[in-house]
Amino acid sequence: MPSMLPARQFSTLRLADVLASSLSSIQGLSNTLGLGPANKSVIVLADGLGVSSLRARAGHARFLNSLLTKASVVDGVFPSTTAAGITTLTTGVAPGEHGLVGYRVRDVDRDRVVNQLTGWDTDMRPETWQRSRTVFERAADAGVPGFAIGPRRYATSGFTQAALRGARYVSAESVSDRFAAARHLLDTEPRALVYLYVPELDVAAHAHGWESDRWLAALENLDGVAGRFAGGLKADEGLLLTADHGIIDVPAAKHVLFDTVSALVGGVRHIGGDPRCLHLYLEPDLEPNSADDLAAAWREIEGHRAWVFTRTEAVAADLFGTVAPEVLPRIGDVIVAARKQIAYYDSREPNQSARSMVGQHGSLTDEELRVPLIRSGAYSL
- 189 and 209 fall within a common domain: yes
What's residue 6's pLDDT?
Answer: 58
CA distance 348 to 263: 15
pLDDT of residue 354: 87
∠ Cα 355 356 362 (to 5°): 60
- pLDDT reported for residue 1: 41
- pTM equals 0.96
Q: Which residues of 219-238 are buried (b: 16+ CB within 10 A; e: fewer)?
A: bebbbebbbebbeebeebbb
For residues 226, 230, 232 and 234, what is the CA-based torsion angle, rounded to 10 degrees?
Answer: 150
Q: Are residues 152 and 193 in the same domain?
A: yes
Return all residues near 2 (Cβ < 8 A) that are at least 6 apart: none
Average pLDDT, the chain: 95
pLDDT of residue 4 exceeding 80:
no
Q: Look up the domain containing 136 and give its range.
A: 16-102+122-248+364-377
Strands 192-198 and 40-46: parallel
Q: Please indicate, yes or no, if residue 1 is contained in any of the structural domains.
A: no
- Cα-flanking dihedrals φ and ψ of residue 178, to 5°? -70, -45
144-to-20, 139, 140 alpha-carbon distances in Å: 13, 5, 5
CATH number of the CATH domain containing 314: 3.30.1360.180
Q: Are 162 and 261 in the same domain?
A: no
- Binned at pLDDT 50, 70 and 90, residue 322 comes out as very high
Q: Is the pLDDT of residue 130 over 70?
A: yes
